[in-house]
Each structure stands twice: as C-alpha cells, then as structure tokens.
Chain A
Amino acid sequence: MLSRSYIRRYVNVKKMMRDVLSYKTGSIIVLIVVMQIMCILFVPRYCSVVNFRVLLRAIPELGIVAIGVCLLMIAGEFDLSIGSTLALTALIMSLLFKNGLNIWLSFLISLIAGSLIGAMNGLITIKARISSFITTLGMMMVWRGVVLVLSGGHPSTFLPPLSFHAILAGHIGLIQAQFIWFVGVAIFFWLLLENHKFGNSVFASGGNKEAAAAIGVNPDRVKLICFVITGLLAAVAGCIGVTRVTSISALQGQGMELQAIAAVVIGGTSLRGGEGTILGAFLGATIIYTVQNILLLLRAPGFYFQLFVGVIIIIVVTLNAMIKRR
C-alpha cells in the first residue's frame, strides 16, 4: 500500500500542481511571476533590451554571494562579513594587478584570500565555540578596516585586460557573462546540495548536529567547508563587481551581508538551519534586485529600496510559515 501511494504521488497531475504550489519555493515563484507581469505592464522602460542587460549584470553579484550564504545558513551558521570580504578580495586583486602581477594570477590569489577568510571565520567559530553571528560581526569590521587602510579610503580605477573583462563581465549577445557564472554557480551548488551526499551532511549538520554526529557525519568539518565556500563566493562576486564597474570603492559591498540574508530568507531558507534551497536563494536575489531596478526606473529616492525589501521579507516569510502550517 505504501508503494502505490508513492507512485500515485508522481502520477496524479492535480496533486502534482498542488505540490508545486506548496513546494518550498512555491510562494516565491508565484510572487516573482506576479511581480514580473506587473513590472512589464506598469513600469516604463522595464521591458527593454537595455534594462534586461542591466538586470542580468547586476543580479549575479548579490546572487552569487547569496548562494554561499544560503549553503552556510542551511548548515546552521551565519556570515555577516561577506560584504567586507567582497571589498577586500576585490581590492587585493586590483592592487596585485596594479603592481604588475598577471591578472589571472591576481584573480586566483584573491579567490584564495576569500577562501582563507572563510576558513578563519569557520575555525574561530568552531574552535572557540562562539556564535558565528559574533565571529563574523567582528570580522565584518576588521576587514572593512583593512580595506580602508589599504585603499586610504579613496576610490581607485581598475582597468583589467579586455580578455579578462570579457570573461568576467562581457556578454554574448543579450546574455551577460556574469549571469552565466551565476547560473553555473547555482547549478553546481544545487547539484551539491540536492544530489550529492555532501548536501545530506549539510542539512543534517544544520538540522540536528547531535544526530549527524551520531551517524558518523562530522558537523564541524561540514560547517568549515561551508564557511570556506561562502568566503570563496564572496571573492568571486567581488572580482566580478570590480571588473564590471572598473573602479573600486572602499565602501563596496557594504550592506550586502543583510541583503544576502534577506534574499536567502525570502527564498525560504530557515534561520535556524537544516532547511532551504539554492533555487530559493537564486529567486530571492532576483526579487531584491528587481525591486531596486523598479525604483531606479521610477526615479524614486533610494531609501524606498529598504522600505520595499523590508515589506517583501515580512510578506514572504509569513506566507511560507502559513503554507507550512497547513
């Protein structure tokens, strides 16, 4: 009887539709569709080639960071230092390049630096047994301070070779390189989380650390790896960002930590760990940037951005909670 109901679940179309709606990311998919239709109908210049490009250029930076944050949050930890990590790694690449190092080598070193920063967050959190919220809050300030010292607080230009620019921030027809990277990263981590045994360990480490340890999973190791991935992805986003705008500001990435957490939470990931999807983080980042884009197109003052994102967070999380309770 068990197998029949199991099969029925996959054959019954009506039930499948219901499943899609009550699926983890169901409410956010509905929201994003409604939002896009409204934008196309009511926001001037939204549905245009130029704006499409802008969206595909800007979403990936927040999106790539959010994927790391999502993974880490499922494992039960936070990283508030990503905005500063992003600025520091971008600055490292830019400084190395300006001092004559090969651009690809500079890029690689910057990615390694991001991973090491992640590893440091992880090691301090795990070894000292303190909340990652505190560790990374401290690190957020430390690395921002380092960025300010290194850059002297002044913005500077970064003009990489064209080939480098093309691969990180160029475009093929309408499609931006950043967006290809973003989709690639998302697919990779979706595979890792949903279809690889490491994903199982991540969910278990965030869901019930003791149960995971009892069955032979090492939650500390899993968490450390997730911290490293988060740092690495922050570096990727930082390097893409600085290549796109060809200049670096000491305040780059400020506020991104909360935007990333907002994107991930909108995407249905639990703050308590053990639950969440990469697709959710992907869509969450898209929603957040779409709000910003709409406001830009409407020439609304910047502070509306926070207001709307705040409202969206509360609406979506409430919806998710209601669906879950049913």
Chain B
Amino acid sequence: MERENPLIEMKGISKKFGKVEALKGVDFTINYDEVVGLVGDNGAGKSTLIKILSGIYQQDEGKIYKEGREATLLSRKDSMDLGIETIYQDAALVDQMSILRNMFLGREITFFFGFLDKKSMGKKSLEVLNKSIGIAGIKSPDQVVGQLSGGQKQAVATARAIYFKTKILLLDEPTSALSIKESQKILEYVQQLKEEGISSVFVTHNLYHVYPVADRFVVLSHGKKIKGVRKRDTSIEELSKIIVSS
C-alpha cells in the first residue's frame, strides 16, 4: 500500500457558529496505525473538529485530504465512505435493538427493494462476534443490546468497526460515562483496533484517560492548535502544564 501521504490531513480548518469562532485555522493529521489523543479544556474546539471529520458539520475554511486526495464531507455518509466510524459516549448502539440489528444498522444486507436478508446477517454477525475477544455473556445476535454490560457493548461496537473495514475510529469522550473498569476496556479495544490496522482519534478533556494508549497528542485551546507532540518527546506533567496554562 502506498503510504506517502498521511491517512487524513486537515489543513487550516476554521469554523464559526454565529459570532463564536470555534476553530481558527487548525491543522490536524492522522497517520496509519496511530492513536491520536486530542486534548484540551472544555470549549477548546475538540468536538467541533471531530464533528467536521464525521461529516456532521462543514468547515467554513480549510481542506481535508484522505491519503493525499482532497475530500468533501457533506454528510455522515460521505465520511463513512472514507472509512470513518464514530463512537460517542454511549458507544453508538441503540439499546432497544438486537445486536444483529445494531451491527448492520444503516448498512443492512438486503435482497431486493431493501428487504432484509436476515439469514446472511445472522451468519455474518456470528462470525464477527466469535472472532473478537472478550465477549463473555453474549449468547446470540438476537440479544437486545440494552441487556449487555458497558464492556460488552463496546465489544459489539468494535466488532462492527472491524467488520465494516473502518480505517479511522473517532472516539468523542468515550470514557466520561463509564466505570473505571469499563474505560479500561475501551483503552484495550483502541489498542486492539490499532493492531488490526485501525487508527483512532481519542477526544477527551481528561489527559489521564488517553495518556496510556496515545502515540501522539494534539492540544487545542480556544479554537487553536497550541501543541502537537509525540508521546516519546513529552511527559504527562508537561502536557498537563500546557493545557492548564493555555
């Protein structure tokens, strides 16, 4: 595979909401097989940046490149077509629906006129679930997601990301609603996904959540990028100081 260009490159991204400048010319890159920690205080513009990349917001200025080619992201669908998956606080699953229905939501396997091919979806989801590790307690793809634990839900979301050949996973404050044990699980999955060749952007205002897994950190403050540094060139103390003093 050609890997001259970064996986994703965002250049000079600006976004205004009315008079509020949420982002002021931010550059942001995601490389292959990498976990990026996007950190900064509340209101720094982290979520806005992530939402632009997921196609929910459109930037006012700036360009986005996928593997060197310019990309226009007008909807969530455009972003998904580039292989970008998002996981929000609640793992992006619908509690009332079965594992199977969640797994194929928005990307159903169909016969004709959009009628569901439940058999092959059942088979595929079994395959995927059997493959991924640490899913004790999941008995069948027909189980309702609401009955699963936080960790199991995360496993289902991860299995989905792998199955649909996601290239980049955006995690927006994924640990803020979870127990310590469950957030530990998420960090493990991010690591696991990296080994599967999926890069992640881990957004959080809590540096300590992301520090163990990130390879690189980008610090935002008041809509500007104030620091971009590899883990090996910094320390948690230095990063904390940058965030606090900004």
Contacts and interface: CB of A to CB of B under 8 A. Distances in A.
Contacts of B141: 6
A207 interface: yes
A6 B140 contact: yes
Given A5-B139, A9-B140, A196-B114, A216 B106 contact: yes
Given A9-B140, A196-B114, A212 B105 contact: yes
B95 A197 contact: no
Contacts of A61: none
A211 B93 CA distance: 6
A197 B76 contact: no
A211 B106 contact: no
Contacts of B129: 2
Contacts of A210: 88, 90, 92
B76 A216 contact: yes
Contact of A203 (B76, B101, B115): B101
Contacts, number: 99
B227 interface: no
Contacts of A293: none
Contact of B138 (A2, A191, A215): A2
Contacts of B75: 216
Contacts of B107: 215-216
A206 B101 CA distance: 14
B88 A5 contact: no
Contacts of A199: 116
A4 B54 CA distance: 38
Interface in A209-242: 210-217
A3 interface: yes
A211 B126 contact: no
A188 interface: no
B126 A204 contact: no
Q: Which of B114, B138, B142: most chain A CB closer than 10 A?
A: B114
Contact of A207 (B94, B110, B113): B94
A5 B88 CA distance: 31
A200 B76 contact: no
A195 interface: yes
A207 B96 contact: yes
Contacts of A216: 75-77, 80, 106-107
Which size class do A's interface residues fall under? 20 to 34
A274 interface: yes
B211 interface: no
A200 B105 contact: yes
A274 B95 contact: yes
Main secondary structure of the interface of B (DSSP, over half): loop
B199 interface: no
Q: Give the bracket for the number of chain B residues in contact with chain A.
A: 35 or more
A246 interface: no
Given A2-B126, A196-B114, A208-B95, A217 B105 contact: yes
Interface in B107-137: 107-108, 110, 113-116, 118, 122, 126, 129-130
Contact of B140 (A5, A201, A213, A275): A5
A214 B96 contact: no
B57 interface: no
A62 to B, nearest CB: 26
B86 interface: yes
A164 interface: no
A213 B76 CA distance: 8
Contacts of A215: 76, 80, 92, 105-107
A208 B93 contact: yes
A270 interface: yes
A198 B113 CA distance: 11
A200 B77 contact: no
B114 A2 contact: no
B88 A207 contact: no
Nearest to A208: B94
Q: B90, B92, B97: which has the most chain A beta carbons within 10 Å?
A: B97
B12 to A, nearest CB: 26
Given A9-B140, A195-B115, A197-B110, A214 B86 contact: yes
B96 A203 contact: yes
B223 to A, nearest CB: 24
Interface of A: 2-3, 5-6, 9, 191, 195-201, 203-204, 206-208, 210-217, 270, 274-275
Given A5-B139, A196-B115, A214-B86, 16 more contacts: A2-B140, A9-B140, A198-B114, A200-B108, A200-B116, A203-B97, A204-B97, A207-B96, A208-B93, A210-B90, A211-B91, A212-B94, A214-B54, A214-B76, A215-B76, A215-B105
22 contacts: A2-B126, A2-B138, A3-B126, A6-B122, A6-B139, A191-B115, A196-B116, A197-B108, A197-B114, A197-B116, A198-B114, A200-B97, A200-B108, A201-B106, A211-B88, A211-B93, A212-B106, A215-B106, A216-B75, A216-B106, A274-B95, A274-B97
Closest 4 CB pairs of A and B: A274-B96, A207-B94, A207-B96, A197-B108
